[in-house]
Structure 1
Amino acid sequence: MATLTDDRAAVATRLRSGLLCAVLSAASFGLSGPLARGLMDSGWSPASVVIVRVLLGAAVLLPAALLKLRGNWNLLRRNASLLFGYGLLAVAAAQLAYFNAVAHMAVGVALLIEYTAPIAVVVWLWLRHSQQPGRATVLGAAIGMAGLILVLDLWSGVTTSWIGIAWALGAMVGAAAYFILSAHAGDAVPGTVLATAGLLIGGLGILAAGLIGVVPLHATTAPVVFQGMTVPWWTPLLALGVVTAAISYVSGIAATRLLGSRLASFAALGEVVAAILFSWALLGQTPAPIQLAGGALILLGVIVVRLGEPLRI
């Protein structure tokens, strides 16, 4: 009886810690859109914003990663494929594909396609690892996707293109890879090491793409204007690197390891809600009542998915 009680307490503690990390990660990631929008409105190209964001995040995390490594460079060599896969898929491909999708289609539609990643995670775990989703997981997925459609408010008339859809699907693959690879690493690679290596590899990958002309690279030192305030150009860049890259990736990896890739991917849908709230505060984009209702559905979907998850001790 005592062992059963201890096991339940361990599960509850793991769940609380995982959800707290997921909320922190979603809020941090959600802040990146409004900050980047301010920079792009002042003359920065999307790729330039992403490069500074991820490389600055890698620089912030580097001391902690080196401390975790303690000179064990064999750890990096043994997990080189994981680190490169994470950096190129979960960081570089996801960000590049998303910004290219936005260049060809409405932002809302691109986001909707990218955030079908949780469904891709469920399908991958089912096909690759025979982890068949239960009824609660399927129901939670449906509720979460319905909420996401309401949050994105796609009834105002949007246009799409096959090229944009293809890029958005690429972003979805990158987002799904983020959750799958974060969970796959387990305890073999410390979270700070995985995040640092991924950001560094991803940032250099995007820089290479810019240098060969895949995406435009340009920046400016003009002040950045937000709702009711104007700040120097380096202020949002610093926040992007420290908060939306360093903190968001480390907390996201921790959440995925505690909750599993399936539940963590659905909890990450809270990023859309966070992005709307930050857009309201920084850009003056007031959410409509239908979007608030969608946010409530997303949270309900996460709870239902949790009910369909096996206990993790």
Structure 2
Amino acid sequence: MTTPVPGLTAGSSQVTAGIALGLAASLAFGTSGVFATPLFEAGWTPGAAVFWRVLIAAVALLPFSLWQLRGRFGLLRTQWRPVLGFGVLSVAVSQLCYFAAVDRMDVGIALLLEYLAPVALVLLAWVRTRRPPVPLVLAGVVVSVIGLLCVLDLAGATPDPLGVLFAFGAMVGAASYFVIAARPSPLPPLALPGLGLAVGAVLLGLACLIGILPYAAPLVEVSLLGTHLPWWLPLGVVGLVAGALAYSLGVAGIARMGERLSSFVSLSEVLFAVLLAALLLHQVPSAVQLTGGVLVVAGVVLIRLAANRDEPAVPALTATLPDAEPEPAQP
């Protein structure tokens, strides 16, 4: 049974293992935008890219999920809500919005907007609990918002409004990912990501089938690293590395770190993605945008410091949610 260990109150070995898993997950997630961009340039739509990414990841993980659930399928009767929420919000909404944003703006900028999720979690917890955060948290929110304005670089460029909107949709999905994965659950480790990805794949497939999501996936060579590669190579990286591997490592890390610390560690995805985009796609942010990125990270660091110094003043959102339903008795 997998039970989350709250932030810094957990044993040091658990937290250390969680941080290592979180960093590995961030590196895996960070490859998604870089390897999806050549597909977009070859004529793939965001809907097609995210559908195949989630489907490949689900096919890779589902056998392991079912194997871990053997003899305990009754758990799904009580745990269907987190599985459904993970599949709809954490997978379908977040990935579709992220890919749609990347189709309209640089990878690093889209990620920086998405990873305002820790700020959103603090504000949402404030609304739900009616307990205001400490001044250090408010300072972090202000710094992050200033950083956001710099990331948009309103003076130096005209941001794509639809791209910004999609990036904020990805932020909502990312926030749900941390909240759902951090809740205590009797599900085995790979059940939540495996089943959640399967739910997301079904929803995205239906959306493509009925025309809600524009679908185009020309099976042509793509340009990457100065050479031409078959389409299935970047798609395989997006599905297996940025999909199956990333979600598995990420959920395992969150279960050991908790919602707050994991949302901070996940910011490393921005750094990995920016570095990969600069190396492979030559997408280098402007000086103002780089400054904004530093401010966004600094603001979230302030929020994390306040959460660790004064736990009651910055309640975790998971603490305001009902406890997970108990595991049914085994015959």
CA contact (8 A) 2:112 2:293 kept: no
1:19 and 2:26 matched: no
1:68-107 equivalent positions in 2, closer than 5 A: 68-100=68-100, 106=105
Residue number in structure 2 paired with 1:3:
none
1:174-185 equivalent positions in 2, closer than 5 A: 174-184=173-183
How many equivalent pairs are there?
302
SS at match of 1:156: coil
TM-score where L is the length of structure 1: 0.82
Aligned equivalents of 1:67 and 1:26: distance in 2? 26
Q: Which has the higher mean CA deviation after the structures are superposed, 91-100 or 39-48?
A: 91-100
SS at match of 1:208: helix
Aligned equivalents of 2:209 and 2:57: distance in 1? 21
CA contact (8 A) 1:62 1:196 kept: yes
Per-residue deviation, residues 229-264 of structure 1 (Å, max 9, x unmatched): 322211111111111011211222223222222332
Per-residue deviation, residues 117-147 of structure 1 (Å, max 9, x unmatched): 2222112333335675444444444445555
Give the C-alpha shift of residue 43 in structure 1.
Answer: 2.0
CA contact (8 A) 1:54 1:245 kept: yes
Residue number in structure 2 paired with 1:245:
243
SS at match of 1:225: strand
Residue number in structure 2 paired with 1:170:
169
Ranges in structure 1 where 5+ consecutive residues have no aligned partner: 1-7
CA contact (8 A) 2:119 2:300 kept: no
- Alpha-carbon distance change, 302 to 18 in structure 1, aligned in 2, over 3 angstroms: farther
Aligned equivalents of 1:270 and 1:297: distance in 2? 14
Per-residue deviation, residues 266-290 of structure 1 (Å, max 9, x unmatched): 3323222221111112212234555
Give the C-alpha shift of residue 99 in structure 1.
Answer: 4.3
Task: State the AA in 2 paired with 1:176.
Answer: A
SS at match of 2:220: coil
TM-score where L is the length of structure 2: 0.78
- Alpha-carbon distance change, 154 to 250 in structure 1, aligned in 2, over 3 angstroms: farther
Per-residue deviation, residues 180-217 of structure 1 (Å, max 9, x unmatched): 11112x24223311101111111111111111111111
- Alpha-carbon distance change, 22 to 151 in structure 1, aligned in 2, over 3 angstroms: farther
Aligned equivalents of 2:173 and 2:225: distance in 1? 32
- Alpha-carbon distance change, 272 to 224 in structure 1, aligned in 2, over 3 angstroms: same
Task: State the AA in 2 paired with 1:222.
Answer: V
Structure having the larger proportion of residues in helix: 1
Task: State the AA in 2 paired with 1:198.
Answer: G
Aligned equivalents of 2:83 and 2:117: distance in 1? 20
Residue number in structure 2 paired with 1:122:
122
Aligned equivalents of 1:247 and 1:68: distance in 2? 17
Residue number in structure 1 paired with 2:208:
210
Aligned equivalents of 1:33 and 1:174: distance in 2? 16
Per-residue deviation, residues 58-104 of structure 1 (Å, max 9, x unmatched): 1222232223212311112211111111101111122233445567x
SS at match of 2:74: helix
Residue number in structure 2 paired with 1:190:
188
